[in-house]
Amino acid sequence: MILDDLPVLPVIIPLFAAPICLLLPNTRLAGSFATLIAWVSFAFAAMLLATVAEVGPIEYGLGGWANPLGIVYRVDLAGAIVMTLVSLLASVVFPYAIESARDEIVPSQTSAFFAMFLICFSGLMGVVATGDAFNVFVFLEISSLSTYTLVALGAKRDRRALTAAFTYLVLGTIGATFFVIGLGLLYQVTGTLNMTDLHDRLQGADNKVIRAGYAFIFTGLGLKLAMFPMHRWLPAAYTYAPSAVTAFLASTSTKVAIYAMLRFLFTIFGFSFGFADIAFGFFLVLGLVGMFYASTVAIFREDVKMILAYSSVAQIGYMLLGISFATVDGVGAALVHVFQHAVMKTTLFMAVGAVFFALGSHRLSAYKGLGKTMPVTTGVFLIGGLSLVGVPLTGGFISKWVLVQAAFGSVQAIPSLLIVLMIVASSLLAVAYVGRIAWTMLLEEPTSRTPRKVPLAMMAPMLLMAAVTIYFGIDAEGLVNICRAAAESLLDTGLGYGGAM
Amino acid sequence: MGHLILRVTIKLLFAPILLFALYVQFHGDYGPGGGFQAGVIFAAAFILHALGFGLGSCQRVIPPNWLPVGMALGVLIYMGCGFYTMFLGGNFLDYDVIQPDSTHHAGQHIGIVVVEIGVGLAVAATMLQIFYAFAGREPEPMDDAW
């Protein structure tokens, strides 16, 4: 029974657990329960990945309704990887969140905090699992609405969390509206919302309604994933959210939006759609501009969380760049970077959260001399930072390497060599902002304040993520291969999707 | 004795509104209606009462700390129904397995009614929670709020 239900279990278990979590009386209990649920979901997601890698895509009809009629969950290799990634990060961040939430959230709200965390987690898993275009919207909204609440819960330590959450709410809702308008237009043309069905009916079709729908959908998703000119909500939301929330969101929510974008780009529209080339051109330019703009802004910020948030916008640029190549290598590189960036950003934001726990600040001035007062956290931060720059033996190097390879292997409006030079140049900008933090931590004199001792429940997940960052920097062949296979399944599946390469 | 007409009207309307909510709730199986609308109507009766007689009198009947329980319980009923069908061997929310031998899909009816009760409970509790949150807040931001 359990094996048949694998595609749906990692989505509904956290959704079922969330209301129970809301009723649990104290932080420790609610947090431990949420952690347990995350681990169970991770176990099922890993089983799902193993099954999908063996037998190929799995379909699951909710309510027993057959494929095009009902809502169908369809998990292929790309989906299974992202689900495993999201549940892995949840199972690392949730235990970290217990102590962090006791410190940063009003005690009466911590049960609700973990309930929201679980709902957000469930929504993100749902976006990936579902094979129904409208269901993507529903789950996207489930995760977004809970995210607005999670960001706003940072208000105990900094009231600016409220305005950040409100800005995010307004922009996120505009994004969702655009997305659903696009879906409505497609539904008007095709009369179906099932992804495979949509793909079949859109094959070869091209008219103004479909083009408008295309534009609406990708603008909406662009807002959700903080594509360069639509990234304004992200830095404030990440900066003022509670530490654990930032660690989780930075690594999952934009990644899942990227995944949704890949689904629509390749699974639904495919390459036969004439408008696709224009979109890839846009992603190429916006990705490149985003990389430079956001990295440059990050250099001049005085708040470490803000610096890392802008760096996230820049990193999304790399992913868009990989997607814009529209080749198996390019999309594979984007997926590798999705994974590596998720791991390194969680590491970094967890370290920032530990410093916030110890010193009560995430401003750069608080980081003076941390190398002497908090050596372990500094070490973890530096590992994450090196990975962000792309230094060999860290995860970030691998993803930049495959991205550069993919750039040489594709034909673009901009010459490949120039693109590669720009990737390297923007990495130098990363050296500047990471170096600035590292300088403050290592070479300046400590302030007189002695930091609070960070509990083991926060240190252990942080060290684990640092270890994962290094592990996938050394032994990444498996990861690169599986991401490539996932990209192949996205671009050209047995269902007759697209026809790249 | 201000608002006499309003208060008498509210007293007259209160019970019929609740009854109508239940009608919409259980009619949702066969026609327009269902848990969402019913939950809103149900909560509207209490909101109307609170508007006429003050928030305090409404909160004596439905204390604010019940509401999160109602919200959670509603979702649990819905999800529980889904898990129940899964344990019976069907897919998630496949109501047919509740009454597999039925010739007129009795399982579907039972499933829908149970799920809609969950929806109604969750929506009613959420509506009241939102109302309590807005109606119960301090009129002006306090000086130390900023």
ipTM value: 0.88
CB contact under 8 A, A61 and B96: no
- Encode A446-476: b = buried (16+ Cβ within 10 Å), e = exposed: beeeebeebbebbbebbbbbbebbbebbeeb
Out of A216, A240, A272, pick the residue that ends a domain: A272
Range of A321's domain?
275-494
CB contact under 8 A, B89 and A1: yes
Report the share of chain A in percent with pLDDT over 90.
60
Does residue A266 sit in the same domain as residue A286? no
Residue B80 pLDDT > 90, yes or no? yes
- pTM for the model: 0.93
B145 is a domain residue: no
A60: phi then psi, degrees, rounded to nearest 5: -145, 120
A117 is a domain residue: yes
B64 is a domain residue: yes
B24 is a domain residue: yes
CB contact under 8 A, B146 and A159: yes
CB A385 within 8 A of CB A431: no
Does residue A262 sit in the same domain as residue A351? no
Range of B67's domain?
4-135
A500 is a domain residue: no
Does residue A131 sit in the same domain as residue A241? yes
For residue A491, the model assigns a pLDDT of 83
CA distance A135 to A141: 10
CB contact under 8 A, A23 and B95: no
Q: Is A289 on the interface with B (CB under 8 A)?
A: no
pLDDT digits (tens, 9 = 90+) for A369-382: 888 888 999 999 99
CB contact under 8 A, B86 and A15: no
CB B41 within 8 A of CB B16: no
Does residue A446 sit in the same domain as residue A490? yes
Does residue A184 sit in the same domain as residue A328? no
| Partner-chain residue, chosen from B89, B93, B146, that has the shortest CB–CB distance to A62 | B93
Residue A44 distance to chain B (closest CA, Å): 16
Residue B1 pLDDT > 60, yes or no? no
Q: How far is CA B10 from CA A285, A324, B59, in A?
A: 62, 62, 17
For residue B89, the model assigns a pLDDT of 85
Q: Which residues of A touch B81 (CB under 8 A)?
A: none
CB B141 within 8 A of CB B101: no
Q: Which residues of B touch A5 (CB under 8 A)?
A: 86, 91-92
H/E run at residue A38: helix A27-55
**Which of B91, B95, B109 is the best mutation test for A, with the most CBs of A within 10 A?**
B91
Residue B132 distance to chain A (closest CA, Å): 17
Residue A186 distance to chain B (closest CA, Å): 27
Residue B139 distance to chain A (closest CA, Å): 19
A492: phi then psi, degrees, rounded to nearest 5: -150, 90
Mean predicted lDDT score pLDDT of chain B: 88
CB contact under 8 A, A8 and B71: no
SS3 of A460-473: the string is HHHHHHHHHHHHHH
For residue A96, the model assigns a pLDDT of 94
B117 is a domain residue: yes
Spans of chain A below 50 pLDDT: 493-501
Does residue A241 sit in the same domain as residue A341? no
* The total number of structural domains that make up chain B: 1
Does residue A461 sit in the same domain as residue A359? yes
CB contact under 8 A, A20 and B93: no
Give the tokens for residue A6.
Answer: 């694998």
pLDDT digits (tens, 9 = 90+) for B5-57: 999 999 999 999 999 999 999 887 777 778 899 999 999 999 999 998 989 99
**Which of A2, A9, A23 is the best mutation test for B, with the most CBs of B within 10 A?**
A23
A194: phi then psi, degrees, rounded to nearest 5: -70, 135
* The total number of structural domains that make up chain A: 2
For residue A499, the model assigns a pLDDT of 38
CB contact under 8 A, B91 and A16: no
CA distance A257 to A263: 10
For residue B140, the model assigns a pLDDT of 65
CB contact under 8 A, B93 and A23: no
Give the tokens for residue A202.
Answer: 């859109």
